[in-house]
Structure 1
Amino acid sequence: MQELTSTFFSRSLVPRLPTSSPRLQPRSVVPMTVCMDQSRKEKVVIIMGATGTGKSRLSVDLATRFSGEIINSDKIQLYNGLEIATNQITIHERCGVPHHLLGVIPLDEGELTASKFRSLASQSISEITSRGKLPVIVGGSNSFIHALLVEHFDPETNPFSSKPSISSELRYDCCFLWVDVSVSVLFHYLSKRVDQMLESGMFEELASFYNPRHSGSTTTRTGIHKTIGLPEFDRYFQLYPPEKNAKVGEWDPARKAAYEEAVQEIKENTWQLAKKQIARIMKLRSSGWEIHRLDATASFRSSREVWDMTVLVESIKIVKSFLLKD
């Protein structure tokens, strides 16, 4: 995605870190050694947080420093397509770090269940550790993270409903990092990110994806059709079908108002998603999951150097201590 001005950050609104940071160089890569003792759990790092807080950027920075490979746990980004609307990390931003379960499911596939994700991600973890690498799990779908990590998973139970309790018995040796940003700052930047995504071509991407047969109630949507932006603009396209060479400047007031209404709905639904993600992380934490909170608010308000010397440095310290622990 295009760079924003110096006031706003790119992609997930976290300061884009340079490929080399003079204050953190040389990068210390901690090699992973695979323990063949089957009684010991495999070590994994999990990066959590609301949408837009910089999970993907942090995952790449840690993977490059700790000889890691990344496993996507965002249920929408598992699908192949709508890269802008789903905010997939670009090839350039991956910095050569292998990514697993990212854009691997065909567009026409239905809903991927938590059980299926548990199976796929478990296989990826085994493959990564067999190469002596560190699995780094990143994504905002906390239901998938829960399904993957708990020792005893019940696919019939919603762990985040009011009644069920969440087990703290995990089948991996886990290091949890929660990238958090204050509510007011995050709300502001999520709104700006939607504007940036539209400037980067999200409207055109959604227009090319539009299919009148898939329009209508959101309750019947599955898979990638749940992407924020699709239902909001589907309602717009029902009134104003996509046209080639259509110029925004030539739109009448009614069409402009319908467009702005769709954009506002996207911003509101993105914010509602962020609030739900935060609430679920807090529930996991209160259930005994040892989740390290990283406050990234200051870096959003200032510069990427602040992110570098606060969030990143603290993350490196936590992960290094985790890997050295027996």
Structure 2
Amino acid sequence: MKPIFSSFHSLHSPLFHPLLPPNCRPRWARMESSPPHDSRSNQNKTKLIVIMGATGTGKSRLSIDLSTHFPHSEIINSDKMQRYKGLDITTNKIPLHERKGVPHHLLGDVESIDADVSPSQFRSEAGLTIANIASTGNLPLLVGGSNSFIHALLVETLDPRGDDVFAAPHSVSHLLRYDCCFLWVDVAWSVLSDYLCERVDDMLDSGMLEELAQFYDPTKDDSRVGLRKAIGVPEFDKYFKKYPPWESKENGTVPPPKEGCNNQARRAAYEEAVREIKYNTCRLAKRQIWKIKQLRQSGWELNRLDGTASFEEIMKKKEWRSIWEKEVLEPSVKAVNRFLE
């Protein structure tokens, strides 16, 4: 068997994927900051808290935690796939009961699943939302993993004709139109990759397969626009194309193939879809981390918060909350307090 971090040509191998940790089966206090910025240049700018990080690192959790310490906070979503209405499990939207009454904006607000939300469109909509929040005296918190959206919103000037700002060298701007406090939640890759794979399994247990089965449209299974770009949709579209969900419903649900399923080909196709979701999720996280490092190298003053220890405890099914509060939440509260003062 080849090493787990072999070349990308093994993407469709049924045995392994290069970004997945070895034990990832189909189902189977630190705060570092850049030097302080010159506050004189930001005196007339709107203050904004920006929570960044790869998928699965606890950004939403931190935003709600911070809202309990800063009760006049309002959260603005900057995750592209979470803009769309629908696929709440697949896109990992924070459930309503976990929001604790904190207002959320630009979350599940795009009705057309085939519409593409551009960075310049997000800049306009989120900019207006921030202005409205600030006008009431409340504190805006920008939270999400779409770093192209974050860059488009925050920079002084944006070329709307530009595609991916991270694709061209030296194209990331450090001149920002808001006075920002950046909180970057980071988790060691060896821990995060394991967690992301386990999270996919948890999502499937929570009804992700049924959600995707209801979303499946055989007339559009080759269409990759809007919400159809969400990880999980293309992977299971290939599975549903071979095994349509309406042919395997039991009691109105679509169960995954069971161990010992007589149709071994169907079970193999299901397991391949799950493997690809895990691989693509890890690849997305890697790309997000790279972009964040690009922003930091370009002069963005990011406070790095190490959530590794708390996620290690989560993976062990042990009490993690006290570690999270000590190593992520408390440094964040201190950073925000200093920023606001």
Question: Which TM-score bucket, shorter chain as reference?
Answer: 0.7 to 0.9
1:323 to 2:323 alignment: no
Q: Please give the per-residue CA displacement for 1:29-61, whole angstroms capped at 9, x wherever unaligned.
A: xxxxxxxxx970000000000000000010111
Aligned partner letter, 1:197: M
Show the counterpart of 2:284.
273
Show the counterpart of 1:212.
218
Aligned partner letter, 1:227: A
TM-score normalised over the length of structure 1: 0.85
Show the counterpart of 2:231.
228
1:53-92 counterparts in 2 under 5 A? 53-66=57-70, 67-92=72-97
What fraction of aligned residue pairs are identical, expressed as a percent?
58
- Comparing 161-170 with 143-152, which one deviates more in the overlay? 161-170
Show the counterpart of 1:241.
244
CA distance, structure 2, for counterparts of residue 107 and residue 196 of structure 1 = 28
Q: Please give the per-residue CA displacement for 1:104-123, whole angstroms capped at 9, x wherever unaligned.
A: 00143410111110010011
1:45 to 2:49 alignment: yes
CA distance, structure 1, for counterparts of residue 89 and residue 145 of structure 2 = 16
Deviating beyond 6 angstroms after TM superposition, the runs of 4 or more aligned structure 1 residues are none
* Residue 190 (structure 1) shift: 0.2
Aligned partner letter, 1:165: S
Show the counterpart of 2:13.
none
Show the counterpart of 1:306.
323
RMSD, matched Cα: 1.4
Structure 2: unaligned runs, 5 residues or longer: 1-41, 314-319
CA distance, structure 2, for counterparts of residue 232 and residue 107 of structure 1 = 21
CA distance, structure 2, for counterparts of residue 98 and residue 133 of structure 1 = 11
CA distance, structure 2, for counterparts of residue 70 and residue 223 of structure 1 = 23
Show the counterpart of 1:187.
193
Show the counterpart of 2:145.
140
1:167 to 2:173 alignment: yes
TM-score normalised over the length of structure 2: 0.81
* Residue 132 (structure 1) shift: 0.6
* Residue 145 (structure 1) shift: 0.2
* Residue 163 (structure 1) shift: 2.8
* Residue 64 (structure 1) shift: 2.4
Show the counterpart of 1:27.
none
- Verify the 8 A CA contact 2:67 2:73 in the aligned structure 1: yes
Aligned partner letter, 2:244: P
Q: Please give the per-residue CA displacement for 1:248-299, whole angstroms capped at 9, x wherever unaligned.
A: 3455111001000000000000000000000000000000000110000011
Aligned partner letter, 2:142: I
Aligned partner letter, 1:58: L
1:286 to 2:303 alignment: no
- Verify the 8 A CA contact 1:71 1:121 in the aligned structure 2: yes
- Verify the 8 A CA contact 1:100 1:124 in the aligned structure 2: yes
- Verify the 8 A CA contact 1:118 1:144 in the aligned structure 2: yes
Aligned partner letter, 1:48: M
CA distance, structure 1, for counterparts of residue 262 and residue 231 of structure 2 = 24
* Residue 165 (structure 1) shift: 2.4
- Verify the 8 A CA contact 1:212 1:238 in the aligned structure 2: yes
